[in-house]
Every structure is written in structure tokens, then in C-alpha cells.
Copies of this chain bind each other. A is one copy, B any other.
């Protein structure tokens, strides 16, 4: 996974896919080499110390508040949707037209809203504290999420997908896969891990999104990434956590 001579350096927590994975999917689909710095050993300049040096250190560019962080020449960018949009613009993964790019960001930010709510199912009241210290609140949040919010978000994206005539129902925006499709696929993959029962319940209503997920995962570059050790499995330290007690049928509310 080390490509120290590549133009792009990505900094993200080395033990979780998290928000870093949305950036990796863009880099992988673009087939550009990148240095996934914090995944290198500490004694090779990697690990959490390398990540912390970006957040705390006095470097060029605007200091980021949190990872993921992309460094490209003199530019240092944080915020997952910004990094994805920047890379997509450079590598043909978003339409060239400026209005379409604003529309792509609109969809990406709505996915980010969904991702934030998925995260908050296990951290509803204290982001800096453990899940175990907020299990009761998490139960309440997750029940509302599964019953109301998840169907609302996924139903929305299914409608956007079906309404995109240019993409013939196969892309959320434009004629071919953009970074928004890559993020959508990763969200569905994460939901399948964290909320298998809830996702199964809503799946009959989102056939287009399910097909979009399958199509993205079948892209040769993405499939190669998934089979590599560059792709980290989900676990109970990231956004998408499988806590069976939070994964109810929507009718449970």
C-alpha cells in the first residue's frame, strides 16, 4: 500500500475504513497511485503519529480539524466530500460542466448527512465517549433511524436515480459513474454490514440503488481494491458498526 513517490498523500486512521474509504474509492477508480501514509509502519514514517503531525503540525495550507486529509503539492485538503470532489474533477469522475459539479456536491452532501446519522446511531449524545456509555440513547436513536430516516434517505436517492434520464437509471448524476456513485455504493456496503435487517427490509423499494451498488463493486478497479489489503474490513470502531441490538426491523418502532 505504500507508494511514497505518488503525487497524493492520504492521511486517515489506519485501523478503520471510515471516511477515508470514500476517498480511497475515488483514488482506486481513477487508478492513480497514492501514499496511504498512516497505514505504513510507524518506523517507516506512518501510523497515527504521521496523521497527528498533519492535524497538529504547522504545515502549509489550512490546518485540518480532522481526517481524512489529502496532501497534493502545496494543497492540503480536509473534509471527505471536498477531497472526493477535488480528485474527481482531476480524474474525470464528475461531469466537467460547473453546474453539474454543484449538483454532484449537493448529492454528496446529502449522502454525508446520511453517513452522519449512521454514525450517530451508536454515538447519539457524546461523540467523544464510548458506545457502551450511551447504549440506551443509541437504542432510541437507532429505532428512529431505521423506521424513519433510513427509508427517507434511501427512497430519496432511488428517486434521484430513476429521474436521471442521462444515466438511464444506472448513475445518480450524468451518464456514467461519478464519485457520488462510489460513495453511494460504499454507504450501502456499510449498511449491509451494520444494519443487515433494516437494509433487507427497505431493499425491495430501492432496486435501482441495489443494482448501482452491485455495478460499482463489479468495476474492475473497485473489485481489485476490495480483494487487496488496501481495503480494510469494517469493525466496531468506525462509522459502520454492527451492533445487533440496534438493527431492528422498521416495524419495531
Contact = CB atoms under 8 A, between A and B. Distances in A.
Interface of A: 61-65, 75, 77-79, 81-82, 85-86, 99, 102-103, 105-107, 109-110, 112, 116, 120, 124-129, 137, 140-141, 144, 148-149, 152-153, 156, 159-160, 163, 173
B137 A140 contact: yes
17 contacts: A62-B107, A62-B160, A63-B156, A63-B163, A65-B110, A65-B156, A77-B103, A79-B110, A82-B106, A124-B124, A124-B137, A124-B141, A125-B140, A125-B144, A126-B144, A127-B149, A137-B140
Nearest to A141: B125
Nearest to A105: B82
A65 to B, nearest CB: 5
Contacts of A75: 99, 102-103
A28 to B, nearest CB: 21
